[in-house]
């Protein structure tokens, strides 16, 4: 089923909304936040329309739009939606209204210019992430992949937490930008190399929209089809170098050990809403791109490098869990837990089985929901006291039982308790990985113990016992915060007991990808 214009509307709506919010006249600046929220709800409506019209049994890429962009270079404005992209689009669209509500008071309304810029940057980041999820042109993806760094840089460095010094925020923002820009520059070299190879293979003669006769192409579908049927042959050494360049950029974004070091500082320095946007949405562009680009474009190189990536994924799982246990900062603990979970996603991707890849795709969604719930509830607590140290807290469940209860549910989801969403995806990754990499699968099970330690021990210290000094008057979640948290908790429970609708959408796209890379069922 095709719906020309819907995918363009999906990403243009938040970008136009961001522009309108920024240019509001002085007399209307208090409308910035409500206007941004209304814009995010329109984006959600478009995403739901796409989901309703998507046919899981239909073509791999649906709602395709293609128009010439830079014909001289074989680049086209081509968008399309497969099942993996669809669930991430829905995650991105559903989270944004909640994040805008969560960050409603991050910037004082009296600070009018900043109060306009903050939601505008959030919407701009969302729009660029949606381009990355739906692009079917490699160059267009690269542009969105790099451009989303700019609004996030300002969100971290310019609108970071009030309990962080300006120097801390600036350093975290610069580290985030440098790491990701360096990865992107390496990827750009590979993107140019890929274009040259397609030109030598004569793929530009295929007559794709926006193509140039005799030139190369950036058309993802054409390139992957040519790789699969042998029309585009890449020598082993070149393929490994190009695979490494693409995957390095994605591993930094993901983030995968040892390229993860920018994340804890950025997550702590940013506001909870923008930190969740970064970890739950933007970082998913990295793991999504591993499935979308690293594997199908370079299947032989991916098979050769898979043991290395699987090893790094297992190290991430264990390292993230151990580091989470060692943290005294509540928000930094959740950031390291997120690194552990990203290791699971990467493990499932490079195990290259249908079960593991489906588990990874579902894990991207489930991790986004669980991390959003846990980080936002922790952020609400920290906002009340302006202190992140775990040792400062205690007995919160006595004075704020709803806050403690939602924190517990989100924490149990993070440790993959059966009945909550991450369990299903983690189980699929384990089962799918055990066949080709049994040792890695067994080592990865250590996360159950590590997660139980850092989640339950943290809950006991922060929420259990009598109220610590200064906490007796801690307010419970208010109406706005409940509107943010309740949908996330409901999603964790629903996806935990009934993930099949999501899997029905994901599995055909995963089967197509695994077939392209010669993986196993």
Beta strands in 134-238 (DSSP E): none
**469 CB neighbour count, 10 Å cutoff:** 8
Q: Positive or negative CA dihedral for 253, 88, 65, 219? A: positive
Q: What is the DSSP letter of 386?
A: T
Mean pLDDT over each residue of the chain, to the nearest integer: 88
Tell me the two tokens of residue 86: 């669809």
For 164-197, what is each residue's pLDDT tens digit? 555 577 888 888 889 889 988 999 999 999 988 8
- The per-residue pLDDT for 518 is 66
Q: Quick one: pLDDT band at residue 464, thresholds 50, 70, 90? A: confident
Q: Which residue has the tokens 């055909």?
A: 508
Burial class (CB in 10 A: 0-12, 13-18, 19+), 60: middle
Percentage with pLDDT > 90 across the chain: 47
Establish if 287 belongs to a structural domain. no
Q: Is the pLDDT of residue 473 over 60?
A: yes
Burial class (CB in 10 A: 0-12, 13-18, 19+), 24: middle
**378 CB neighbour count, 10 Å cutoff:** 22
The stretch 437-450 carries a mean pLDDT of: 86
Q: Is the pLDDT of residue 301 over 80?
A: yes
- The per-residue pLDDT for 213 is 42
The stretch 131-146 carries a mean pLDDT of: 94
For 216-235, what is each residue's pLDDT tens digit? 888 898 898 888 888 888 88
Nearest residue to 63 (alpha-carbon basis) of 17, 115, 120, 130: 130
CA distance 383 to 438: 44
> What residues form DSSP beta bridges with 137?
219
- The per-residue pLDDT for 466 is 86
CA distance 158 to 117: 10
Percentage with pLDDT > 70 across the chain: 94
CA distance 39 to 21: 10
- The per-residue pLDDT for 162 is 53
Nearest residue to 493 (alpha-carbon basis) of 418, 435, 385: 418
**3-state DSSP assignment of residue 339:** helix
For 339-369, what is each residue's pLDDT tens digit? 999 999 999 999 989 899 999 999 999 999 9
Q: Terminus-to-terminus CA distance in the chain, angstroms? A: 27
The stretch 382-394 carries a mean pLDDT of: 87
- The per-residue pLDDT for 361 is 93
Q: Is the pLDDT of residue 450 over 70?
A: yes
Q: Determine contact, residues 204/215, Cβ cutoff 8 Å.
A: yes
Q: What is the DSSP letter of 281?
A: I
Q: What is the value of pTM for the model shown?
A: 0.90
Angle at 310 between CA 307 and CA 316, to 5 degrees: 145
Reduce the secondary structure of 126-143 to three states and give it as a string: HHHHHHHHHECEHHHHHH
Q: Is the pLDDT of residue 212 over 50?
A: no
> What residues form DSSP beta bridges with 70?
75
Q: Is the pLDDT of residue 272 over 50?
A: yes
- The per-residue pLDDT for 520 is 52
**3-state DSSP assignment of residue 221:** helix
- Pairing status of strand 62-70 against strand 75-81: antiparallel
**3-state DSSP assignment of residue 34:** helix
- The per-residue pLDDT for 514 is 84
H or E element at residue 70: strand 62-70
Establish if 389 belongs to a structural domain. yes
Range of the domain at 355: 298-521
Q: Is the pLDDT of residue 206 over 70?
A: no
Establish if 517 belongs to a structural domain. yes
- The per-residue pLDDT for 315 is 94
Q: Is the pLDDT of residue 55 over 70?
A: yes
Establish if 463 belongs to a structural domain. yes
CA distance 30 to 1: 41
- The per-residue pLDDT for 2 is 43
Considering its fold, how many domains does the chain have in total? 1
**3-state DSSP assignment of residue 77:** strand
Establish if 128 belongs to a structural domain. no
480 contact partners, CB below 8 Å, separation of at least 6: 101, 104
**504 CB neighbour count, 10 Å cutoff:** 12
Lowest-confidence range among 160-169, 227-236, 243-252, 298-307? 160-169
Q: Which residue has the tokens 């006291």?
A: 385
CA distance 220 to 335: 33
Tell me the two tokens of residue 323: 């580091």
Q: Quick one: pLDDT band at residue 32, thresholds 50, 70, 90? A: confident
Establish if 372 belongs to a structural domain. yes
Establish if 353 belongs to a structural domain. yes
CA distance 424 to 194: 37
> What residues form DSSP beta bridges with 135?
79
């Amino acid at each position: 089923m095709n719906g020309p214009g819907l995918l363009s509307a999906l990403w243009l709506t938040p970008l136009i909304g961001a522009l309108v919010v920024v240019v509001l006249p002085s007399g209307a600046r208090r409308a910035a936040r409500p206007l941004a929220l209304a814009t995010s709800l329109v984006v959600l409506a478009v995403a739901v329309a796409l989901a309703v019209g998507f046919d899981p049994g239909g073509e791999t890429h649906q709602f395709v739009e293609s128009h010439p962009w830079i014909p001289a270079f074989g680049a086209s404005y081509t968008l399309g939606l497969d099942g993996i992209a669809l669930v991430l689009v829905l995650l991105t669209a559903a989270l944004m209204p909640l994040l805008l509500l969560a960050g409603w008071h991050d910037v004082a309304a009296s600070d009018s210019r900043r109060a306009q810029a903050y939601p505008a940057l959030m919407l701009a980041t969302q729009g660029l992430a949606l381009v990355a999820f739906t692009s079917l042109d490699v160059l267009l993806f690269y542009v969105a992949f790099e451009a989303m760094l700019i609004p996030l840089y300002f969100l971290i460095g310019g609108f970071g937490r009030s309990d962080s010094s300006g120097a801390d925020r600036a350093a975290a923002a610069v580290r985030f930008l440098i790491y990701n820009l360096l990865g992107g520059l390496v990827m750009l070299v590979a993107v140019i190399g890929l274009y040259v190879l397609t030109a030598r293979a004569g793929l530009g003669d295929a007559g794709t929209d926006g193509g140039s006769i005799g030139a190369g192409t950036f058309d993802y579908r054409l390139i992957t089809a040519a790789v699969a049927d042998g029309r585009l042959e890449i020598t082993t050494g070149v393929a490994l170098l190009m695979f490494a360049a693409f995957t390095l950029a994605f591993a930094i974004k993901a983030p995968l050990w040892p390229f993860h070091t920018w994340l804890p500082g950025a997550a702590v320095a940013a506001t909870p809403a923008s930190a969740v946007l970064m970890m739950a949405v933007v970082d998913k562009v990295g793991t999504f791109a591993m499935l979308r680009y690293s594997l199908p474009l370079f299947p032989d190189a991916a098979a050769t490098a898979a043991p290395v990536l699987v090893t790094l994924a297992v190290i991430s799982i264990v390292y993230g869990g151990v580091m989470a246990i060692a943290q005294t900062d509540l928000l930094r603990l959740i950031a390291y837990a997120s690194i552990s979970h990203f290791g699971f996603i990467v493990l499932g991707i490079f195990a290259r089985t249908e079960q593991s890849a489906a588990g990874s795709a579902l894990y991207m969604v489930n991790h986004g929901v669980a991390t959003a719930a846990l980080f936002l509830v922790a952020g609400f607590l920290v906002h009340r006291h302006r202190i992140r140290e775990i040792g400062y807290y205690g007995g919160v469940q006595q004075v704020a039982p709803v806050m403690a209860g939602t924190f517990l549910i989100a924490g149990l989801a993070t440790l993959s308790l059966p009945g909550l969403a991450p369990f299903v995806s983690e189980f699929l990754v384990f089962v799918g990985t055990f066949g080709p990499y049994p040792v890695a699968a067994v080592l990865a099970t250590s996360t159950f113990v590590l997660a139980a330690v850092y989640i339950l021990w943290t809950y006991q210290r922060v929420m259990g016992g009598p109220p610590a000094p200064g906490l007796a008057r801690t307010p419970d979640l208010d109406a706005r915060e409940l509107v943010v948290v309740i949908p996330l908790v409901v999603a964790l429970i629903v996806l935990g007991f009934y993930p099949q609708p999501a899997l029905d959408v994901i599995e055909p796209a995963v089967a197509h990808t695994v077939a392209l890379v010669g993986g196993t069922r």
